[in-house]
Each structure stands twice: as structure tokens, then as C-alpha cells.
Structure 1
């Protein structure tokens, strides 16, 4: 499995997630269920992409670190999601065919980059579902 094989699968999930994030009303970012807010899920999704790029694809975090926008700043959260995806895509593109199938040790345990992308696809889809649930049933922190 190579970049050209994985890319359309990743893009199908990730582009839909970004489209959803861009369409969110800014006031929905603060909605939450329990400890999870929509804004925090968007930020967390970007953080996971940066971490996976480093852990499984060998692309270091940006020198300036990961942006930490307010979880209620819609524009900055969308920019962070775009940047984290670009960072991951660069990391994926740099792998050789052999590296895609080579197990890598990580804080999550051993995994190949192919398996890691599978986890990220699942992760992104799971948080998309949570965002939808929070929009339907969440409360503003002031309620």
C-alpha cells in the first residue's frame, strides 16, 4: 500500500470532516456534553494528526509547536485542521513502499503506518459523530 493508494481513502474521510468543521456555526463550538466540547474535539483531532505524523511517519512537530487557539475561535480551529492535515500528508508522501509496511514503536505500541492511517480514519469518524451528537444534545457551558 502506497501513498497513492491510501490518499483517496484518507481524503474521503478528512475532507468531509473539514467541510463539517467549516460549516459549524461559531456559537456551536462551546456546546458540550460532559467534558467534551465541539471546539475541543476539533483541536484534539488536529493534535492527533500531528502526533501520528511524528510517531508513525517520522515528521517532527513544527518548531513553533502546535497552535493552541481558543476552542471557540472558529477561524483558527479550521486553520489548525488544515495545517495538521497538510503536515500529515507531507509525512505520508515521504514514505517508501517498504516503510508503509514496517512496524514502528510508538507511545501507543507498535503499528505500521498503514495501520496508523486506519486508526486516524476511525478517530476522525468517531469525533465527527460526537460533534453531531453534541450539536443535537449539548449544552452551552453557561446553561
Structure 2
């Protein structure tokens, strides 16, 4: 499959996220479906961080990203409440990962990461597409059914 087709497929898969962005309000960012679940703001930040890390670690784009939603210390404390800042990092992730995808010549080339071992770049693209779509589905449910937990310990 050509790089153009791979990128078109990624854009379509990512539309599960991007189609929601214009309807999200700042008041939605602290919504969660259960007190122990992640907020909408945290999910947006997480999606962007993972896409940026894929651009860096899988597609070898020179990026500086400090992940706040990944790892043993990552905890949702309701800290992601600036909608414009979140939309900006989502856009940055789209731009950086999109450029990285466009630069791939050989989709059968193997990459090795600590997270999922050795896979082809095509397999890695499938992985990031499903990751984004999975969390975009969660985001839709949080926005639709979630409530702000006023007793949240921040």
C-alpha cells in the first residue's frame, strides 16, 4: 500500500477524534463517567502525547515531548482544563505524525520499541490508529454521559 493511501487511511481513522473537537466545551474537560475514570481533558492530552511519541519513537521524527499521561506517575488529577491548549497539542500531534507518515518510503521496515517489540511501520500505523480511535470513543462517552466530580482530589 502506498504512503498516500496509508495517510488517507490514518486521516479517516483519526476522524473519530477530529469530528468531535468542534463540539467540546471547556466545561466538558472535567467530566468523567465514574469518579475513578479519566476526565475528557486527560483523554485529549493522552491521545496527543501518544501520537507525538509515535512520531518520535516509531517514525523517527526529532521531537521534544514531555509525557504527562503515560507511565507509573501519570495520574489524572483534573489538571487538563485549558481547551485551547489541548486543541493546540492535538493539532501539533496531527501535524507531526502526519508529516512523519508522509516521509515513510518502506512500510515493511521494522522498528523496535519497548512498548510493543519489533513490528513493521505498517503495523505500527495500525496500532496508533486503533489507539486514537479507542480513546476517541471513550471521549465521546465521557462528553455525552459524564459529569464533573465535585469531590475530586486534585
Normalising TM by the smaller chain, what interval? 0.7 to 0.9
Cα distance in 2 for residues equivalent to 1:132 and 1:13: 15
Cα distance in 1 for residues equivalent to 2:90 and 2:22: 10
- For residues 21-69 of structure 1, what are the alpha-carbon distances to aligned partners after superposition, in whole Å with 9 as ceiling and x for unaligned? 231121011101323110000000000111111221111223xx3597x
Cα distance in 1 for residues equivalent to 2:61 and 2:6: 18
Aligned position for 2:137: 129
RMSD: 1.9
Q: Could you tell me whether the CA contact under 8 Å between 2:31 and 2:40 is conserved in 1?
A: yes
Q: Could you tell me whether the CA contact under 8 Å between 2:58 and 2:124 is conserved in 1?
A: yes
Shift of 1:136: 3.3
Q: Could you tell me whether the CA contact under 8 Å between 1:21 and 1:42 is conserved in 2?
A: no
Aligned position for 2:100: 91
Shift of 1:134: 1.5
Moved over 4 A (4+): none
- In structure 1, stretches of 5+ residues that fail to align are none
Aligned position for 2:76: none
Q: Could you tell me whether the CA contact under 8 Å between 2:31 and 2:143 is conserved in 1?
A: yes
Looking at secondary structure, tell me which structure has more strand per residue: 2
TM-score, normalised relative to structure 1: 0.86
Q: Give the count of matched residue pairs.
A: 138
1:15-30 to structure 2, matched below 5 A, reads 15-30=15-30
- In structure 2, stretches of 5+ residues that fail to align are 69-78
Cα distance in 1 for residues equivalent to 2:27 and 2:67: 21
Cα distance in 1 for residues equivalent to 2:63 and 2:85: 18
Name which of structure 1's ranges 43-52 and 110-119 shifts more when overlaid on structure 2: 110-119
- For residues 97-131 of structure 1, what are the alpha-carbon distances to aligned partners after superposition, in whole Å with 9 as ceiling and x for unaligned? x2x11111111211111111111111111111111
Cα distance in 2 for residues equivalent to 1:29 and 1:16: 18
TM-score, normalised relative to structure 2: 0.81
